[in-house]
Structure 1
Amino acid sequence: MSGQDLKTLKFINAQFLGRKRPTIEAISDEQMDQDSSMVCMTSLSTETTEDREEVLLECLELFESLGLENPTLLKEFHKSYLDYSFNNALPRQMKALDASQPWILYWIACSLRLMNREWLGEDIQRRICKKLFKASLENGPFCGGFGQDPHLVCTYAAINALALCDNVDGCWDQINRQGIYKWLLALKSDNGGFRTGLVVGECDTRTTYCALSVAAMLDILTPELCQGVEQFLLRCQTYEGGFGACPQEDEAHGGYTFCAVAGLAILESVEKCNISMLSEWCSARQTAEEKGLSGRSNKLVDGCYSYWVGAVNTILETQGYSSCIDKPALQEYILKCCQSTERPGLRDKPGKSPDYYHTTYVLMGLSLTEHSFNTTKSASAISTREESDKFQLGAVNPVFGLPIEDLRKFLSHT
């Protein structure tokens, strides 16, 4: 191999395959028996195992330092982090989120609403609506930012953000439902999924869920729009039990699994997937030591999967199946490892910085562990079975990613 080829290989390993450190085989002192030199136990040290050991150590230190305390959510503290965005420009390093402006609005509004409904006041709601409609074509579909092309995933975030705005100034009546419906039909692919945009864009479980969610919330979920969608989503379930991005092509992933299962819930077809394998896969995402959830096999715990995987568990519960995760343990991970008294906002794991994305999905995941849900096949009719009034957060609909009360109001208006 030439020197140039070796450089190319090292670049591919580091940049595309994530192999920044070599795999090291560590041989134990144990042998199969005293008369044999055959090794009976080996362990491999990789970047993932080393990173997990580091995260595990940090989690255990937090569990030990907080002891038997029952930490509470520092809501006022986290509110200061969320409020900052409405009065200050985002830092330069967040320039990449220029095409995700509806998402930022949804994340912040939903976080505020979950912690205290009064924290999302009319003034903020008006500002949210004004910005969203400016980043749209004829009030729907919606774009990621001003002057950009309409995007399906951003339209999903925009509709969710508007649903949190209490129809301030009649904003719900301004949504161009017919225009969005025609646009969604144009995004439909032959395989039953939906593309992100008319010109270019991927087609996977994420985009398909977004299309179903938007259509269901706007009451435009027609048989024509749903044709072939159920089969597309079912073909995305992998041999592991979870769902991948595309049919028979990807490994199971927490985010894609949520999108597929939530999409099937909207279609009232959850029972058509392999529930047993799905439950096992969700259960395997929770580690006994860190107590949180990961998104894939052999990956690190991450606070956002408290919702992505936690919501799948809750959807199964609403279908009449037993819980497949340890909710008290997940609460402990969230409250002890995903929040810090040093910086407001919620984070992925110890050692990481807080951000709007993790703040929202960690909060929604925590909410799902607090509330009990009634059994129903209708995604929009999911309700709670409250056994206590001591909740830190409002109840979330696990299918649509919105507080149940806000979703109810929006759907009744539609």
Structure 2
Amino acid sequence: MGDLSLKTIKFINAQLLGRKRPTIEVVAEDQTALESSPVSMTFLSTETTEEREQVLADCQDLYESLKNTEVTLLKEFHKKYLDYPFNNALPKQMKALDASQPWILYWIACSLRLMDKTWLGEPVQRKIYAKIFAASLEKGPFCGGMGQDPHLVCTYAAINSLALCDSVDDCWSQINRQAIYDWLLSLKCSNSGFKTGVAVGECDSRSTYCALSVAKMLNILTTELCEGVEGFLLGCQTYEGGFGACPQEDEAHGGYTFCATAGLSILNSLHKCNILRLAEWCSARQTAEEKGFSGRSNKLVDGCYSYWVGAVNSLLEIHGYGSFIDKGALQEYILKCCQSSERPGLRDKPGKSPDYYHTTYVLMGFSLTEHLLEVTKQTEPISVKSTTNGFQLEPVNPVFGLPAEDVTKFIDFMSQLPQVC
């Protein structure tokens, strides 16, 4: 490495990336020493490579210690963690999630339902729909909490939460579909994407997916709402094969890739993207050593991408393109590295604390490794059922991030209601 390159790295380090310590150049004296160095640290040592080596060591320790142990999901153990917020006040540090109340309800309810559909009883379902309706002006659209402005991403979480309530007390028919439809139209941007709020909000593949999901779930997905959306989402695919937040602007990311591919599936347009590059990108997110997924190139493994990337693989599988991941290895990462017998709930990776977000998406990712899904309506590939027997979790619909049975019941109910205009 020349002096100029080293100076450039030091400048980026100090002025652009804000690292607290400089990059360390690693020089091997001979080929043998070079080959014996960890792959990620052959040439440069950075904070990311050092963190990756630590994660890799933690994972290998767990794999070694549990190699002769049959590990299963500790469902009853995790249930204690999920039941807690329905009977106790959440800790003060969770005030940061005050604008994400529908998300917390969705994460907890979905996790309970996935592990045992009887664990989400009517008393809890009543608490959920009452809380959701309290966070809205007219029972739709929905806000992150009482007294806040309606927000598209929170509306998505609210609808998913309500879909888990079995229409207890006829709560499904109380959703103001017309108001939500009119609001969705007001969020549509000139580039055919959707922004998250009327007054202010980002317009990207995530918010656009949320609009399509809400509309499809509520049976209000009209031609006017969909016009131009396909082109917006297709434009988010990058040279890597995955999708970014906005057309021609961002790097491929696991979360945005899920949003774009799920949105295209709702539009029956997934086949119009570069399938081969997408499959290659998904496959490259799984590391042979840790066995889980990362969300971007050169990033650390994270349990939540078990769903974000795993669901994309499932969508490709459902559409007949095959699977491009090692499901057995992913199961091993989840059971041995995202789960601990010492503390309930599921986590990002070894060394991290469990939380409701990761608990949900790790569980859904695990479910997708257990079930082979098939289309139940050839004209609508978002309607799926499992063909698998003997599983630990309920099957997930990879388009909506909900148990497949709940999606079917909710959409069937909404299809019986009068059309909105």
Query: Which of the five TM-score ranges fits, normalised by the shorter chain?
Result: over 0.9
Q: In the alignment, what sits opposite 2:275?
A: 275
Q: In the alignment, what sits opposite 1:289?
A: 289
- Alpha-carbon distance between aligned partners in 2 of 1:15 and 1:138, rounded to the nearest angstrom: 49
SS in 2 for 1:238: coil
Q: Does residue 1:99 correspond to 2:89, yes or no?
A: no
Letter in 1 for 2:66: L
- Residues 216-252 of structure 1: CA deviation (Å, up to 9, x unaligned): 0000000000001000000000000000000011000
- Residues 65-88 of structure 1: CA deviation (Å, up to 9, x unaligned): 001433100000000000011111
Q: In the alignment, what sits opposite 2:162?
A: 162
Q: In the alignment, what sits opposite 1:37?
A: none
- Alpha-carbon distance between aligned partners in 1 of 2:251 and 2:227, rounded to the nearest angstrom: 25
The structural deviation recorded for 1:13 is 6.0
The structural deviation recorded for 1:14 is 7.9
Letter in 1 for 2:370: E
- Alpha-carbon distance between aligned partners in 1 of 2:379 and 2:278, rounded to the nearest angstrom: 18
The structural deviation recorded for 1:20 is 3.3
Q: In the alignment, what sits opposite 1:4?
A: none
Q: Does residue 1:69 correspond to 2:69, yes or no?
A: yes
Count of matched residue pairs: 395
The structural deviation recorded for 1:144 is 0.1
Q: Does residue 1:328 correspond to 2:328, yes or no?
A: yes
The structural deviation recorded for 1:46 is 0.4
- Alpha-carbon distance between aligned partners in 1 of 2:336 and 2:170, rounded to the nearest angstrom: 41
SS in 2 for 1:27: coil
- Alpha-carbon distance between aligned partners in 2 of 1:210 and 1:22, rounded to the nearest angstrom: 41
- Alpha-carbon distance between aligned partners in 2 of 1:165 and 1:14, rounded to the nearest angstrom: 52
- Alpha-carbon distance between aligned partners in 2 of 1:14 and 1:119, rounded to the nearest angstrom: 52
CA 1:14–1:203: 2 relative to 1, 3 Å? farther
The structural deviation recorded for 1:283 is 0.3
Where do 5+ consecutive residues of structure 2 fail to align?
1-9, 33-40, 415-421
Q: In the alignment, what sits opposite 1:347?
A: 347
- Residues 296-354 of structure 1: CA deviation (Å, up to 9, x unaligned): 00000000000000000000000001101000000000000000011000000000000
Letter in 2 for 1:52: R
SS in 2 for 1:374: strand
Q: In the alignment, what sits opposite 1:356?
A: 356
Identity %: 75
Give the alignment's Cα RMSD to 1 decimal: 1.8
Q: In the alignment, what sits opposite 2:244?
A: 244
The structural deviation recorded for 1:19 is 2.2
CA 1:167–1:42: 2 relative to 1, 3 Å? closer
Q: In the alignment, what sits opposite 1:36?
A: none
- Alpha-carbon distance between aligned partners in 2 of 1:282 and 1:222, rounded to the nearest angstrom: 31
Q: In the alignment, what sits opposite 2:36?
A: none
- Alpha-carbon distance between aligned partners in 1 of 2:266 and 2:300, rounded to the nearest angstrom: 30
- Alpha-carbon distance between aligned partners in 1 of 2:392 and 2:98, rounded to the nearest angstrom: 32
- Alpha-carbon distance between aligned partners in 2 of 1:229 and 1:42, rounded to the nearest angstrom: 44
- Alpha-carbon distance between aligned partners in 1 of 2:13 and 2:92, rounded to the nearest angstrom: 30
Q: In the alignment, what sits opposite 2:417?
A: none
CA 1:56–1:233: 2 relative to 1, 3 Å? same
TM-score (norm 1): 0.93
The structural deviation recorded for 1:92 is 1.1
Letter in 1 for 2:339: Q
Identify the match of residue 380 of structure 1 among 372, 379, 382: 382
Q: In the alignment, what sits opposite 1:201?
A: 201
- Contact between 2:189 and 2:195, CA under 8 Å: does it hold in 1? yes
The structural deviation recorded for 1:359 is 0.1
- Alpha-carbon distance between aligned partners in 1 of 2:228 and 2:19, rounded to the nearest angstrom: 39
- Alpha-carbon distance between aligned partners in 2 of 1:348 and 1:311, rounded to the nearest angstrom: 17
Q: In the alignment, what sits opposite 1:234?
A: 234
- Alpha-carbon distance between aligned partners in 2 of 1:292 and 1:275, rounded to the nearest angstrom: 22
The structural deviation recorded for 1:377 is 5.8
Letter in 2 for 1:212: L
CA 1:328–1:122: 2 relative to 1, 3 Å? same
Which residues of 2 match residues 15-414 of structure 1 at below 5 A?
17=17, 19-30=19-30, 43-375=43-375, 376=378, 378-386=380-388, 389-414=389-414
- Alpha-carbon distance between aligned partners in 2 of 1:66 and 1:182, rounded to the nearest angstrom: 54
- Alpha-carbon distance between aligned partners in 2 of 1:292 and 1:377, rounded to the nearest angstrom: 33
Where do 5+ consecutive residues of structure 1 fail to align?
1-9, 33-40
- Contact between 1:135 and 1:147, CA under 8 Å: does it hold in 2? yes
- Contact between 1:20 and 1:47, CA under 8 Å: does it hold in 2? no
Q: In the alignment, what sits opposite 1:6?
A: none
- Contact between 1:112 and 1:119, CA under 8 Å: does it hold in 2? yes
